[in-house]
């Protein structure tokens, strides 16, 4: 027998409805989902798929509803994983109601997906999001006529301003309880019987145009500003130049700003280090154990945070603001022809941009590429983009050996330009490698590329910055911290365990010395990169520890001290150039390697992701060093 509480739970369970949100990318679907569920969501992957999913719950008028956030998709033609998931879910008839989220500023484009869904089910609500933006652009929509044309309820919303949600929730409840009768439009249902794909597509677009012309009215001046901006931003003559200028500005701001934050964090961590050591001594810890904890684990951990957090705290928010403003899709548009000619995909430019922050994130981002061949090319070459773990090392070496004027502002400009040149070179190598992979081990048919150019929007500064810091910067930092702890312990052991009064670390550097000299480096640099496999941030500290023959990781307190140390250990401009090259082109870090395996489920592709950049880096360094030797 059920008690009263169990009876209430059972009643809620029986009255629960499942609704699904579906829509094109960049229509505010996630914002609608968050507004409905109040961020009470569960994220994961669809069964057997790498595409992420989100489910949440909300209660309205004593009825609890489950919300399923379907992957963003342009159609149900089942070309990509996202489209397959959305199509299978809709055809399964699990949902009591399907909410189609559409961009109110571009009704005609969004009607394509709407009509395809209506050819399968009529239990649908069309939610016109960003209605405030449409009005500001001089676009007016006759929702009553649109509802009549489609045979379903049409609701206006603005996720940002929280407009229209009560009406949306009431309509959802009414439709789920069969209080609203939707009706099939015969001509829409007839489309589902068309077997000729070309004729089916032609009819869909024809209907979209007809319905839009009856319901949407635009002022002649609407979208003029966006069109004028796009004529410049997407032009083949000015588009790439603007992209390079923005990257330069982004790097310059990151370089200048990160220096101040790093100094503050380093001072703080040095103070904590002293207090931690004093505490352990007060607790009568063994000196070797104190050294292991303080000099090994804590020092490595603190440097990872001090080196990684500042550039990420600056880079990710600015990058996210560019993304929120609608600029990033223009990058893919500008670079699409370059990637297409190399047998790759235009969206690879977006995943490469994600690699600036973290290559593991860039690899996960390759899910947006439909073709398996092109997705694998993007995954194998993503490590060519230097992540935040490598940027500090690049900046330090450039500042010491290339930006050597007596003007700090000019030095920051030279450093930014040099870094931009390295990035441009890495893009060039990415295109060449993509072409070779496309014609050899990763042969296959190229996919079509439907690219949406969303309207330019004023970024949501506070919300975007908080999201970038919390979900991107801190997420990447936490993962790096978890890797740095065992890395610090390993490095300490190699430096402290001795054989015949010679540390294991010294034996390793001597072993790699001939190979290092052949490629313009030395054994210390080679072993530093090998031991830096868990975390790229530890490369320079390992080098310094080996050069100084200390038993603890050693950081530099200023660029001038680092410069003196490197020059005294035989560094020249060629050593610096080869270091910059191998820093960009070498095996991915352990986190990225693990992510590649999870995404590809292939040991073979994971091995290629390690060996390809390493071979490229070694060959380039050997060529540079050989040319230098011949000329000198």
Average pLDDT over residues 429-453: 77
Residue 85 lies in a domain: yes
Q: Is the dihedral of CA 395, 398, 400, 403 positive or negative?
A: negative
Asked whether the predicted pLDDT for residue 296 surpasses 70, the reply is: yes
Q: Are residues 280 and 342 in the same domain?
A: yes
| Average confidence (pLDDT) over 306-326 | 76
Shared domain for 217 and 247, answered yes or no, is: no
| 2 falls within a domain | no
Summarize the confidence of residues 160-184 as an average pLDDT: 87
Q: How many other C-beta atoms are found inside a 10 Å radius of the C-beta of residue 83?
A: 19
Residue 458 lies in a domain: yes
Residue 519: pLDDT band (50, 70, 90) is very high
Q: Which of 68-82, 139-153, 495-509 is most confident?
A: 139-153
Tell me the residue range of the domain where 61 lies. 8-222
Q: What is the mean pLDDT of the chain?
A: 82
Domain count, the chain: 2
Q: For residue 3, tell me if it sits in a domain.
A: no
Q: Are residues 315 and 413 in the same domain?
A: yes
Name the band, by pLDDT with cuts 50, 70 and 90, for residue 366.
confident
**Contacts with 524 (C-beta within 8 Å, 6 or more apart), sequence order:** 509, 516, 543, 546, 547, 569
- The residue among 222, 251, 283 that closes a domain is 222
CA–CA separation, 568 vs 562, rounded Å?
A: 10
What CATH number did the domain enclosing 51 receive? 3.40.50.300
Q: So what's the pLDDT on residue 2?
A: 37
Beta 139-141 vs 502-503: how paired, if at all? Answer: unpaired
In this structure, the answer to whether residues 209 and 247 fall within a common structural domain is no
Residue where one domain finishes, among candidates 194, 222, 250: 222
Can you tell me the distance from the alpha carbon of 420 to that of 150, in angstroms, rounded to the nearest whole number?
51
Residue 46 confidence (pLDDT): 42
pLDDT of residue 602: 92
- Asked if residue 19 belongs to a domain, the reply is yes
Average pLDDT over residues 43-57: 58
Same domain, 542 and 469: yes
pLDDT at residue 45 in the model: 41
Number of helical (H) and strand (E) elements in the chain, helices listed first: 28, 11
62 & 165 share domain:
yes
- DSSP state, residue 345: -
Quick check: is 227 in a domain? no
More confident residue, 302 or 550: 302
Same domain, 277 and 371: yes
Q: Going by DSSP bridges, is the β-strand pair 17-23/63-69 parallel, antiparallel, or unpaired?
A: parallel
Alpha-carbon gap, residue 519 to 429, rounded angstroms: 19
Final residue of a structural domain among 165, 192, 222: 222
Co-location of 501 and 458 in the same domain: yes
Q: Quick one: pLDDT at residue 128?
A: 95
pTM to 2 decimal places:
0.71
Structural domain contains residue 278: yes
Query: Any idea which of 214-228, 353-367, 536-550, 615-629 has the lowest mean pLDDT?
Result: 214-228
473-501 pLDDT per residue, tens: 676 667 667 766 777 788 778 888 888 88
Whether 230 maps to a domain, the answer reads no
140/250 same-domain check:
no
Both 588 and 475 in one domain: the answer is: yes
Of the pLDDT bands very low, low, confident and very high (cuts 50, 70, 90), residue 553 is: low
181 and 250 inside one domain: no
- Confidence band of 8 (pLDDT split at 50, 70, 90): very low
Average pLDDT over residues 372-399: 88
- Do 215 and 260 lie in a common domain? no
């Amino acid at each position: 027998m059920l008690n009263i509480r169990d009876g209430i739970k059972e009643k809620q369970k029986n009255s629960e409805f499942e609704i699904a949100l579906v829509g094109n990318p960049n229509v505010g679907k996630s914002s609608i989902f968050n507004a409905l569920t109040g961020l009470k969501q569960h994220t994961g992957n669809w069964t057997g798929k790498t595409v992420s999913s989100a489910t949440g719950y909300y209660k309205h008028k004593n009825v609890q509803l489950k919300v399923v956030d379907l992957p963003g998709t342009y159609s149900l033609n089942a070309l990509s994983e996202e489209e397959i998931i959305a199509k299978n879910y809709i055809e399964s008839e699990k949902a009591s109601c399907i909410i189609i989220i559409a961009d109110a500023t571009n009704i005609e484009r969004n009607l394509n997906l709407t009509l395809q869904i209506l050819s399968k089910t009529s239990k649908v609500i069309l939610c016109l999001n960003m209605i405030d933006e449409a009005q500001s652009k001089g676009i007016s929509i006759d929702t009553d006529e649109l509802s009549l044309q489609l045979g379903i309820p049409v609701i206006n919303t603005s996720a940002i301003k929280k407009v229209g949600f009560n009406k949306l929730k009431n309509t959802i409840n009414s439709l789920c309880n069969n209080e609203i009768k939707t009706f099939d439009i015969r001509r829409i249902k007839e489309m589902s019987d068309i077997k000729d794909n070309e004729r089916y597509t032609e009819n869909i677009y024809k209907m979209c145009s007809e319905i839009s012309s009856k319901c949407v009215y635009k002022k002649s001046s609407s979208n003029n500003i966006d069109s004028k901006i796009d004529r410049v931003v997407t032009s083949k003559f000015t588009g790439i130049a603007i992209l390079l200028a923005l990257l330069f500005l982004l790097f310059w701001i990151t370089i200048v700003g990160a220096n101040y934050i790093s100094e503050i964090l380093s001072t703080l961590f040095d103070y904590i280090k002293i207090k931690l050591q004093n505490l352990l001594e007060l607790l009568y810890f063994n000196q070797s154990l104190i050294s292991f904890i303080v000099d090994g684990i804590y020092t490595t951990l603190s440097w990872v945070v001090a080196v990684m957090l500042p550039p990420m705290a600056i880079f990710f928010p600015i990058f996210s603001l560019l993304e929120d403003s609608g600029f990033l899709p223009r990058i893919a548009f500008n670079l699409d022809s370059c990637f297409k000619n190399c047998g790759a995909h235009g969206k690879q430019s977006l995943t490469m941009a994600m690699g600036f922050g973290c290559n593991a994130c860039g690899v996960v981002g390759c899910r947006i590429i439909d073709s398996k061949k092109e997705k694998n090319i993007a995954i194998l070459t993503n490590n060519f983009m230097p992540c935040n773990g490598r940027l500090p090392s690049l900046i330090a070496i450039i500042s010491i050996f290339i930006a050597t004027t007596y003007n700090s502002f000019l030095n920051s400009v030279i450093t930014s330009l040099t870094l931009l040149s390295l990035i441009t070179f890495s893009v060039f190598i990415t295109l060449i490698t993509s072409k070779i992979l496309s014609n050899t081990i990763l042969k296959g048919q190229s996919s079509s590329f439907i690219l949406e150019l969303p309207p330019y929007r004023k970024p949501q500064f506070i919300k975007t910055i908080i999201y970038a810091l919390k979900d991107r910067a801190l997420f990447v930092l936490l993962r790096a911290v978890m890797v740095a702890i065992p890395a610090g312990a390993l490095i300490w052991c190699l430096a402290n365990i001795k054989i015949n009064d010679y540390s294991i670390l010294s034996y390793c550097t001597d072993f790699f010395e001939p190979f290092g000299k052949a490629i313009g480096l030395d054994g210390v640099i080679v072993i530093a990169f090998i031991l830096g496999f868990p975390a790229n941030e530890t490369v320079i500290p390992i080098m310094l520890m080996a050069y100084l023959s200390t038993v603890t990781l050693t950081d530099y307190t200023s660029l001038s001290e680092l410069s003196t140390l490197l020059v005294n250990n035989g560094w020249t401009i060629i050593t610096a150039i080869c270091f910059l090259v191998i820093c960009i082109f070498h095996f991915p870090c352990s986190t990225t390697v693990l992510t590649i395996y999870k995404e590809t489920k292939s040991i073979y592709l994971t091995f290629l992701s390690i060996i390809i950049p390493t071979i490229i880096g070694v060959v380039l360094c050997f060529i540079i060093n050989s040319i230098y030797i011949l000329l000198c």
